[in-house]
């Protein structure tokens, strides 16, 4: 007995080892077999990471699985993915693994598919991406099996887990998306007649020609299906489904034919309570409907009968009705009552284009407000034709009081109107106004509208509109948004295109406002700032891209960035996220300004390009209150008077639509009409007065000053201009940065009278016109920053110029009068000093002799060369000029 058990144990162990080892030993052959089988039957590229065989998982059957399957199409869907699957597993008897093609088809017992994504697509030419099976003549099989399939299914169970399916028909513009699909079935497929018990759960979305009929709606289906495989007929026996929470029972059959499928199915909801209507609405919107109190009935009933083929669909007769119904949510204060619904979906011809929807009645009442409507939708798969009639009163604030909507902003306003409209969708999309027929009128009061495209909600206190075939006349419109108020009239085009499609809202308006802030009409866009110094996400202001309008504006006050504009008049064009100003005029800073140009927020970085014409600005007010002007000319805020300028500026804007100074480029022609300089209030003037003692900057004459400015690379370049102080001409040029760095040069052309008595006496003896007009340049180099300036004076040019002038004048006199006159000149100069003390006379005479000696070249007997004499003259002149710089002011 022990020996028998021992032998049995050894045999069992050997069998177990074989069951484990054999699949690994034959793995390459299995992989090759699967690849050969696929290539023989499919016109597509098939890839998978692994094929495994196990005798343990489904013992005593064999378990074969394919991992990471990917099937991609050939032309005309080249490289598009048809199927992906994480794992596909089949079970079959072990004997099936050793069959050859001549032994007949493989018999599969079960199939399990995990995470499959299947895309079924038909292009506009009728090509289908799922038509990938090879025909018999294409398949490379032996003659013994050319008339048989490679598989037969004797399936006991199958399952599809956590999968998705997409159906896309470009011809009919139909899309169906099924997600979170879990489906299982049990039955026997090999018998001629049998039953299949199935359970299905999924979410479904259904769209035809951009009209969304289902949006991720949950469905459930428990179906017992009778299988007549000999006649390819499938009969629904005990079937109950759920669309959202609406129960539906259906019966009938589907039979496969050579040219399509014959369908004969009827369905209806088994319960008639109006609560079933709320069950149609997705739960995320309808919330918990179990405790909702309802009255009245609701019924869905339909027949689908006919042939479904490439050219036809079954006839449809579906009705949705409700009479004198009402509902009230327990946590909300108001009730919706007198609900009447009468809707039909029909197709009597089998032609898909003949499908239509009639909403004969859709009425309801909230409080004393009655709303009535009717509509018909035809040709819904091609170019949908819409005819609608709407009338009644609707208090928008009551919507959230009767239905559990979660709105970001409170919805208020009373809508009254009678409107009839008729159009086709292509007319809406292409703005074919001749095919859009509107009539009626609508009024709105106390309406608040908010959108993600606008930074502030718009409160419309009153609006009256008349609907015409092509346009809507805006007879009256009073509104506020942010701190801005609007009073407008005009015309609106394409309102339906804006509401029903992605078209822009077009219009022409005359707008009046007492206060209009541009930023109140901008939208918020969550984008990362392009400024290198800012890395966090910010909310950037954007001009709404849905606007295409012209506005003739007349506003008492307009605020844009730091500008406070008064009495603004002009035209504003808004299109393609660009605002263009034309002939815009306003009063500000006790003067007038004209603006033209544009601001664009279409790109990643907003930009502007504007021309300013400024006349009579108060300098002190404008430069103190306007940051842009302060950066363009920071010193100007110390002036009192008027400013005229023509300025062109372009550059980038930040997220608040303020100019980025580092990006500015442009030019300006500026004129100062000033009467006073507040020199004592600026450190720059203090530095200049300390270095140039002969200038009193409080008396600086800047009247009618004109200069040109250029802006680029964060700097303002000032073209050379001239100002005067009494009889001193000052030449100024240079540049400054927006970081307040200064780099200027001021050349003071100092007349001879400021040079001291000694040099003036000398010049006075040179009795020529040129001598009397002698002046020297004293250069002041201004650096540092505006708040901490530095001033350095340079006498080099002044010394050189004075020396050369004196030499040149005296040489010309000597040439004209002869050398004999020199002695007389010297005697006269010496004699004029007899009244002075002997010591002073001696010093002055020597100084004059040295200067004159240098001017005329001196005695040849001296050892100094001409160059040495010139240097001596420069030193003497330099000593005189030094008294002009620093220290106390000298009287003339």
pLDDT in tens, 41-50: 677 788 878 7
Closest C-alpha among 420, 483, 478 to residue 447: 478
**CB-count exposure of residue 774 (10 Å: 0-12, 13-18, 19+):** buried
Structure confidence by residue, pLDDT tens digits, 767-801: 555 555 667 777 888 888 877 888 887 766 666 66
- Which of 101-105, 131-135, 160-164 is predicted with the least confidence, judged by mean pLDDT? 101-105
CA distances from residue 449 to 125, 507, 763, 788, 808 in whole angstroms, order as listed: 45, 18, 85, 53, 85
- Distance from C-alpha of 445 to C-alpha of 705, rounded to nearest angstrom: 57
What is the dihedral sign for C-alpha 138, 142, 147, 151?
A: negative
Q: Rounded to whole angstroms, how far apart are CA atoms 221 and 244?
A: 11
Task: Identify which has the larger pLDDT, 799 or 348.
Answer: 348
Mean pLDDT highest for which of 18-32, 415-429, 496-510, 631-645?
Answer: 415-429
pTM equals: 0.56
pLDDT at 854: 36
Q: What is the pLDDT of residues 682-702, one digit of tens each?
A: 666 666 666 666 666 666 666
> What pLDDT is attached to residue 110?
82
Q: Is the pLDDT of residue 79 over 80?
A: yes
**659-669, pLDDT tens digit by residue?**
887 788 888 88
pLDDT band at 514 (very low <50, low <70, confident <90, very high): very high
Beta-carbon neighbour count of residue 685 at 10 Å? 21
pLDDT tens-digit series, residues 415-456: 899 999 888 888 877 777 778 888 899 998 988 877 666 778
Q: Work out the angle at residue 70's Cα, subtended by the Cα atoms of residues 67 and 73, and round it to the nearest 5 degrees.
A: 160
**pLDDT tens figures, 300-333:** 999 999 998 878 889 999 999 999 899 998 888 9
φ, ψ dihedrals at 87, nearest 5°: -160, 135
The better pLDDT of the pair 219, 94 is held by 219
Q: Which residues contact 87 (CB under 8 A, 6 or more apart)?
A: 65, 66, 67, 68, 112, 113, 114, 115
pLDDT of residue 87: 87
Under 8 Å between Cβ of 559 and 516: yes
The dihedral formed by the CA atoms of 106, 107, 112 and 116, expressed in degrees to the nearest 10: 40
Residue 285: in which H helix or E strand, if any?
helix 283-286
pLDDT at 604: 84
Determine if the peptide bond prior to 24 is cis (ω within 30°): no
- Are the C-beta atoms of 501 and 428 separated by less than 8 Å? yes
* Residue that wins the pLDDT comparison between 190 and 20: 190
Give the per-residue pLDDT at 341. Answer: 94
* Predicted local confidence at residue 22, as pLDDT: 44
Inform me whether the pLDDT recorded for 128 exceeds 60.
yes
Percentage of the chain with pLDDT > 90? 13
Instruction: Give per-residue pLDDT as tens, 807-853.
Output: 666 666 666 655 445 455 555 544 444 444 455 444 444 443 443 33
Provide the token pair at 447. Answer: 């309406």
Residues 191-237: pLDDT tens digits?
677 788 889 999 988 887 666 767 788 888 888 888 887 888 889 88
Backbone angles phi, psi at 57, to 5 degrees: -60, -40
**Local structure of 698: helix, strand or coil:** helix
């Amino acid at each position: 007995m022990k020996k028998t058990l021992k032998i049995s144990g050894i045999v069992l162990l050997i069998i177990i080892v074989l069951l484990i080892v054999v699949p690994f030993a034959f793995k390459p052959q299995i992989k090759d077999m699967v690849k050969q089988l696929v290539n023989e039957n499919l016109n597509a590229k098939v890839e998978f990471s692994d094929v495994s065989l196990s005798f343990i998982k489904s013992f005593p059957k064999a378990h074969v699985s394919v991992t990471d399957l990917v099937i991609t199409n050939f032309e005309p869907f080249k490289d598009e993915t048809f199927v992906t699957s994480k794992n596909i597993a089949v079970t079959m008897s072990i004997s099936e693994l050793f069959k050859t093609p001549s032994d007949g088809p493989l018999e599969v017992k079960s199939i399990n598919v995990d995470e499959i994504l299947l895309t079924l697509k038909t292009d506009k030419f009728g090509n289908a991406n799922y038509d990938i099976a090879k025909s018999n003549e294409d398949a490379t099989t032996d003659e013994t099996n050319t008339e048989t399939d490679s598989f037969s299914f004797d399936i006991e169970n199958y399952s599809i887990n956590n999968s998705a399916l997409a159906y896309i028909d470009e011809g009919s513009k139909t899309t169906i998306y099924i997600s979170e699909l879990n489906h299982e079935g049990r039955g026997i497929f090999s018998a001629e007649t049998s039953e299949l018990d199935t359970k299905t759960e999924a979410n479904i979305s259904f769209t035809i020609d951009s009209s969304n009929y289902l949006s991720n709606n949950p469905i459930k289906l428990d179906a017992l299906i009778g299988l007549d495989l000999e006649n390819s007929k499938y009969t629904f026996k005990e079937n109950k489904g759920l669309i959202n929470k609406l129960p539906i029972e259906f019966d009938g059959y589907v039979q496969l034919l050579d040219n399509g499928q014959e369908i004969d199915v009827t369905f209806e909801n088994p319960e008639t309570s109006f609560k079933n209507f709320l069950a149609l609405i997705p739960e995320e919107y309808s919330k918990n409907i179990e405790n909702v109190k309802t009255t009245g009935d609701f019924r869905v009933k339909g027949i689908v009968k006919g042939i479904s083929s490439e050219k036809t669909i079954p006839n449809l007769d579906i009705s949705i009705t409700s009479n004198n119904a009402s509902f009230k949510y327990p946590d909300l204060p108001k009730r919706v009552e007198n609900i009447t619904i009468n809707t039909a979906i029909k197709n009597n011809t089998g032609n898909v284009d003949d499908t239509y929807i009639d909403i004969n009645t859709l009425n309801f009442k909230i409080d004393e407000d009655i709303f009535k409507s009717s509509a018909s939708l035809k040709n819904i798969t091609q170019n949908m034709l819409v005819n609608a009639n709407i009338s009644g009163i609707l208090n928008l604030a009551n919507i959230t009081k009767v239905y559990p909507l979660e709105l970001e902003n409170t919805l208020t306003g009373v809508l009254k109107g009678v409107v009839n409209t008729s159009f086709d969708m292509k007319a809406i999309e292409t703005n074919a106004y001749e095919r859009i027929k509107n009539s009626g009128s609508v009024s709105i009061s106390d309406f608040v509208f908010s959108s993600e495209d606008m930074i502030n909600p718009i409160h419309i206190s009153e609006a009256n509109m008349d609907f015409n075939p092509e346009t809507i006349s805006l007879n009256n419109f009073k509104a506020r948004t942010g701190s801005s108020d609007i009073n407008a009239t005009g015309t609106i085009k394409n309102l339906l295109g804006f509401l029903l499609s992605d078209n822009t809202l077009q219009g022409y308006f005359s707008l009046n406002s007492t206060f209009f802030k541009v930023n109140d009409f901008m939208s918020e866009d969550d984008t990362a700032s392009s400024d290198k110094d800012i890395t966090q996400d910010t909310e950037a202001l954007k001009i709404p891209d849905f606007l295409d309008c012209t506005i003739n504006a007349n506003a008492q006050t307009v605020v844009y960035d730091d500008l406070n504009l008064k009495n603004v008049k002009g035209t504003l064009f808004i299109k393609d996220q660009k605002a263009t100003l034309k002939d815009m005029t306003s009063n500000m800073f006790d003067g007038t300004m004209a603006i033209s140009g544009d601001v664009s927020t279409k790109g990643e970085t907003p930009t502007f390009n504007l021309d300013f014409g400024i006349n009579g600005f108060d300098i002190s007010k404008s430069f103190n209150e306007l940051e842009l002007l302060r950066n363009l000319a920071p010193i100007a805020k110390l002036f009192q008077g008027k400013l005229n300028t023509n300025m062109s500026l372009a550059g980038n804007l930040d997220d608040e639509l303020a100019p980025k100074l580092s990006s500015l480029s442009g030019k300006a022609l500026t004129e100062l009409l000033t009467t006073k300089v507040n020199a004592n209030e600026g450190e720059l003037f203090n530095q200049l007065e300390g270095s140039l003692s002969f200038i009193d900057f409080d008396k600086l004459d800047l009247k009618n000053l004109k200069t040109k400015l250029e802006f680029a690379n964060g700097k303002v370049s000032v073209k050379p201009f001239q100002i005067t102080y009494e009889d001193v001409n000052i030449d100024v040029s240079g540049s400054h940065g927006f970081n307040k760095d200064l780099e200027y040069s001021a050349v003071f052309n100092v007349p001879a009278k400021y040079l001291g008595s000694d040099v003036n006496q000398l010049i006075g003896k040179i009795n020529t016109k040129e001598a009397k007009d002698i002046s020297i340049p004293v250069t002041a180099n201004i650096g540092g920053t505006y708040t901490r300036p530095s001033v350095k004076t340079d006498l080099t040019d002044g010394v050189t110029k004075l020396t050369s002038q004196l030499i040149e004048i005296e040489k010309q006199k000597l040439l004209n009068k002869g050398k004999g006159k020199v002695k007389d000149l010297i005697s006269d100069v010496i004699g004029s000093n007899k009244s002075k003390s002997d010591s002073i006379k001696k010093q002055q005479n020597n100084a004059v002799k040295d200067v004159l000696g240098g001017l005329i070249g001196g005695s040849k007997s001296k050892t100094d060369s001409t160059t040495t004499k010139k240097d001596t003259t420069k030193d003497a002149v330099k000593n005189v000029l030094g008294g002009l710089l620093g220290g106390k002011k000298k009287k003339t």
